[in-house]
Structure formats: structure tokens, C-alpha cells
């Protein structure tokens, strides 16, 4: 189960990242770096955290023209990111260009191909928010499944989606498709700004490939115990 838990190191404080990673490295291989952490650590993060046995999910949610995203994803592949995401709403051509660029960078540097993910609809957006923000008549779940299929056709490995959408995505995209789910809240943690949420055990039960947990671990008084409790819940699924 420990390979299915990704801890979001959502802080720009290098010392805190050092402490969190040092505390968690024996039980949590996967860590996620967002813009805050990446702007502090830069690409040095890759050899540093990989050297501690971590795998790195670079969560910069690229969204730009195909040429730009392809370069960004190729560069981050070369530096050693193990998982990279981009907004699926950037379109088929953008995702396809990113995949080709990652493949070339991996081959040229003799490193494994990273897991490439499309972000569907953010887990902080609910049905009403989706209709208001996107002016769409479409049901949110339909939009998520549509974007997941588009990502799959473009050759990405999977998507980031809410745990509530795992089942329809699995039905549409199959068992090998990677589904990474944030919006995870153990019953003992506060929900914060997340809307489409579930517990760690329920996300695993529904078929999540990986779950992403930030504040319930990194803002806990004892992050190690919080991570152990979540892993225990996942094992009980
Ligand atoms: O603290 P919390 O557990 O809510 O953190 C969830 C993490 O997952 C954050 O880093 C957030 O940016 C990220 N994320 C998300 N929803 C998405 C994609 C990424 O919550 N659709």
C-alpha cells in the first residue's frame, strides 16, 4: 500500500520539506512537489529526494500551447521527475506533444518514461461550481470521463480526478489506466477547501491507483503517525 500513497509536500519551506521527507522516507516513497516547493528547491530536488529513495510527482499542472508544454515536460523528464501532470483541457494535441517529448527525453537520457497524467476537473470544484465557472450544461462526471478518454487517446498514462469519479473512469478507460485521486480526507481530518472527497479506504476500494494526501499529513502535529494511520486505513480497504 505504501506505493499507492503520495504525500503532497505543499510548502515552500526547505527545512520543513527536509524534516518531512526525512521523517517519512522509510514509509512513503512517493512525494508530490507543487509550485511552492519547486520554486524553493528547483531541479536540485530531483537528485536530493531521489537519493533518499523518494519518487517525485511534479505537480505543476502544465497548460499552454503544445510546443511549450512539450518542452516543459521533456525538460522535467530529463531532470528525473517520475510523474508529471498537465491540464487535460489543454487539448489532445498538447497532451500528445508532451508524451512524444517525454519519450524522446527518456530515450536520449536512458531513463524510464515518467507517468504522464492529465488533470480532469479540480477536486475543489463541485457540480454547481463547474456549471458556473465553465458555463457548461454538461454533468461534471461526464466532463471528467470525456477528458480522461481524451488523455488516454493522446497516449497519457492516466489522470488526476476526484475519488468519486474512479468507477466511471475505470469503466471507460480500463484497468491499466492510472487514476490518481486527491480530495482524500480520513474521518479524523478537516476537509478544508476540498469538495469532492472521500476517505483513503474508500478511494482504494473504488480502484484508485494512487491517493494524494497533503494537509492531513503535513499539517498534523505528528506527520509520521498520520501517515501510518492512513496506510493502515488503506490496508484495511
Ligand atoms: O491538502 P490536500 O490533501 O487537500 O492536498 C491535495 C493536493 O492535491 C494539493 O497539492 C492539490 O494542489 C492537489 N490537487 C488537488 N486536486 C486536483 C489536482 C491536484 O487537490 N484535481
pLDDT digits (tens, 9 = 90+) for 178-234: 999 998 999 888 888 878 789 999 999 999 999 999 999 999 999 999 999 999 999
**Euclidean distance between CA atoms 162 and 197, whole angstroms:** 7
The residue whose CA is least distant from atom 13 of ligand 1 is 182
| Closest ligand 1 atom number to CA of residue 215 | 1
> What percent of the chain clears pLDDT 90, i.e. is strictly above it?
86
Residues touching ligand 1 (Cβ under 6 Å) are 8, 10, 34, 119, 122-123, 160, 182-183, 192, 194, 212-215
Domain count, the chain: 1
Q: Is 18 exposed, middle or buried (0-12, 13-18, 19+ CB in 10 A)?
A: middle
CATH number, domain at 119? 3.20.20.70
DSSP state of 188: T
Q: Where are the beta strands (DSSP E) in 79-176?
A: 83-87, 115-119, 158-160
pLDDT of residue 22: 96
Beta bridge partners of 83: 57, 115
Residue 47, number of CB atoms within 10 A of its CB:
11
Task: Copy the grid coordinates of residue 16.
Answer: 520543513
pTM: 0.94
Residue 148 belongs to domain spanning: 2-235
Amino acid at each position: 500500500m505504501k506505493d499507492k500513497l503520495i504525500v503532497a509536500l505543499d510548502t515552500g519551506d526547505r527545512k520543513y520539506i527536509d524534516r518531512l521527507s526525512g521523517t517519512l522516507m522509510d514509509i512513503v516513497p512517493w512525494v508530490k512537489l507543487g509550485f511552492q516547493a519547486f520554486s524553493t528547491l528547483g531541479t536540485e530536488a530531483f537528485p536530493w529526494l531521489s537519493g533518499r529513495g523518494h519518487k517525485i510527482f511534479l505537480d505543476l499542472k502544465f497548460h499552454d500551447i503544445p510546443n511549450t508544454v512539450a518542452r516543459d515536460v521533456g525538460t522535467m523528464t530529463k531532470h528525473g521527475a517520475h510523474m508529471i501532470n498537465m491540464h487535460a483541457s489543454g487539448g489532445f494535441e498538447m497532451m500528445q506533444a508532451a508524451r512524444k517529448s517525454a519519450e524522446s527525453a527518456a530515450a536520449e537520457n536512458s531513463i524510464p518514461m515518467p507517468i504522464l497524467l492529465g488533470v480532469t476537473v479540480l477536486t475543489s470544484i463541485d457540480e454547481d461550481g463547474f456549471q458556473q465557472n465553465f458555463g457548461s450544461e454538461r454533468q461534471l462526471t461526464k466532463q471528467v470521463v470525456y477528458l480522461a478518454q481524451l488523455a488516454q487517446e493522446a497516449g497519457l498514462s492516466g489522470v488526476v480526478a476526484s475519488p468519486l469519479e474512479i468507477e466511471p473512469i475505470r469503466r471507460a478507460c480500463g484497468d491499466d489506466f492510472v487514476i490518481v485521486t486527491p480530495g482524500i480526507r480520513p474521518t479524523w481530518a478537516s476537509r478544508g477547501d476540498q469538495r469532492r472527497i472521500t476517505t483513503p479506504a474508500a478511494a482504494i476500494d473504488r480502484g484508485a491507483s494512487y491517493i494524494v494526501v497533503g494537509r492531513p499529513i503535513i499539517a498534523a502535529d505528528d506527520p509520521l503517525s498520520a501517515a501510518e494511520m492512513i496506510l493502515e486505513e488503506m490496508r484495511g480497504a
